Amino acid sequence: MGQNGNGLDIKTLENWLWEAACKIRGEIDAPKYKDYILPMIFIKRLADVFEEEVEKLSEEYGKKGIAEEIVKEDHTLVRFYIPPEARWRSITKETTGLGEYLTDSVRSIAKENPRLQGVIDMVDFNATASGQRLISDESLKSLIEVLGRYRLGMRDVEPDILGRAYEYLLRKFAEGSGQSAGEFYTPREVAVLMGRILDPDPSFEIYDPCCGSGGLLIKCYLRFKEVFKDDPTVKPVKFYGQEILHSTYAMARMNAFIHDMEAEIALGDTMHRPAFLNPDGSLRKFDIVTANPMWNQDFSQPTYGI
């Protein structure tokens, strides 16, 4: 991530994420930090982009209040409509019942934006175990204060912010718990190289059968953008992926949304229940298939057609 006016280069990003993780350290296992921090970063990104879009519309309609009312009636004017209670400035004002408030907020975002259902609303910030909260309101408040330090709008940070954050948190905490982070994501350098080698052409369809957080698909997309820029005469690439883990599937869809990619990500076991089939039940074919297959897993003979 390059330096920008907001100062959020890769080193700053990593320090920022580490400080955020420290705010909930001790209350949950380290590998689960990402399950709470990344959705919060996504909420912050959505809220900041929404604010940018409303500000731009305010210039057209004269007043911010008028722009907000128009957007409330016509959600197509913005990428995603964020209801007032779920906007970052509203979240930062809450001091009690924060876990319940955050959970209600993400559900309200999903309700207003059906494309985000099953993506942003999968985390219960108010969850308990044996009658005890997994993350206290005090820790959530501290986490919000840290994550609110930087703006994450379109003009503030590169779209790859979530991908870089995901990679950092996986590497930091998966290996720290005795696991190999490589089982869960492809190292950035490898993904970038694969994107360059595959070098997709316009109108290609690209598929990853075990897409994880979507890193390989995104690097192919970034390579396509690098070569063809934003040429309106060039037909876009379409992306498809499938992921078995719900939390990782949600991250892949968040990643695709942040990058404004035309991507269809499916949830499920690719080997036994592939999501992309032809009408006759045979496997669908794509122009490019890219994958970092899951490790050390045995599979029974599939029953679908080839």
Domain membership flag for residue 280: yes
Q: Map tokens 């964020």 to a residue.
A: 82
Look over the chain and give the mean of its residue pLDDT values, rounded to a whole number: 85
Identify the bridge partners of residue 265 per DSSP, sorted by sequence position.
241
Q: Which amino acid is at 208?
A: D
Average pLDDT over residues 284-304: 74
Give the span between the Cα atoms of 289 and 200, in whole angstroms.
Answer: 11
Structurally, how many domains does the chain consist of?
A: 2
Confidence band, pLDDT 50/70/90 cuts, at residue 306: very low
> Does residue 195 lie within any of the structural domains?
yes
- Residue 252 maps to which CATH number? 3.40.50.150
- Residue 298, domain member (yes or no): no
Q: Please check whether residues 163 and 207 belong to one and the same domain.
A: no
Q: What pLDDT shows up at residue 127?
A: 87
pLDDT(6) > 70: no
Q: In the predicted model, is pLDDT for residue 81 greater than 60? A: yes
Examine the domain organization and report whether 99 and 139 are in the same domain.
yes
User: Taking the model in full, what pTM does it have?
Assistant: 0.81
Between 155 and 280, name the one with better pLDDT. Answer: 280
How far from chain centre, in Å, is Cα 295? 23
Average pLDDT over residues 160-166: 71
Q: Are residues 150 and 251 in the same domain?
A: no
Mean pLDDT computed over 249-265: 88
Please give the Cα distance from 56 to 35 (Å, whole number): 32
Both 153 and 112 in one domain: the answer is yes
Same domain, 33 and 63: yes
| Range of the structural domain that residue 214 is part of | 185-289
Residue 172: pLDDT band (50, 70, 90) is confident
Whether residues 142 and 78 share a domain: the answer is yes
What CATH code is carried by the domain that includes residue 158? Answer: 1.20.1260.30
Res. 271: pLDDT tops 70: yes
Statement: residue 174 has pLDDT above 80: no
pLDDT at 111 over 60: yes
Cα end-to-end distance, the chain, whole Å: 41
pLDDT value, residue 300: 63
Domain identity same for 83 and 211: no
Residues 6 or more apart whose Cβ sits within 8 Å of residue 263: 214, 217, 238, 239, 240, 241, 253, 256
pLDDT higher than threshold 70 for residue 65:
yes
β-bridge partners, 129: 132
Q: Residues 51, 154: one domain?
A: yes
192 plus 156 within the same structural domain = no
Contact assessment for residue 98 and residue 14, using Cβ atoms and an 8 Å cutoff: no
Residue 68: what pLDDT? 93
Q: Are residues 146 and 95 in the same domain?
A: yes
- Kindly report the three-state secondary structure assignment for every residue of the chain: CCCCCCCCCHHHHHHHHHHHHHHCECCECHHHHHHHHHHHHHHHHHHHHHHHHHHHHHHHHCCHHHHHHHHHHCHHHCCCCCCHHHCHHHHHHCCCCHHHHHHHHHHHHHHHCHHHCCCCCCCCCCCEECCEECCCHHHHHHHHHHHCCCCCCCCCCCCCHHHHHHHHHHHHHHHHHCCCHHHCCCCHHHHHHHHHHHCCCCCCEEEECCCCCCHHHHHHHHHHHHHHCCCCCCCCCEEEEEECCHHHHHHHHHHHHHCCCCEEEEECCCCCCCCCECCCCEECCCCEECCCCCCCCCCCCCCCEC
Query: Does residue 5 sit within a domain?
Result: no
Shared domain for 24 and 149, answered yes or no, is yes
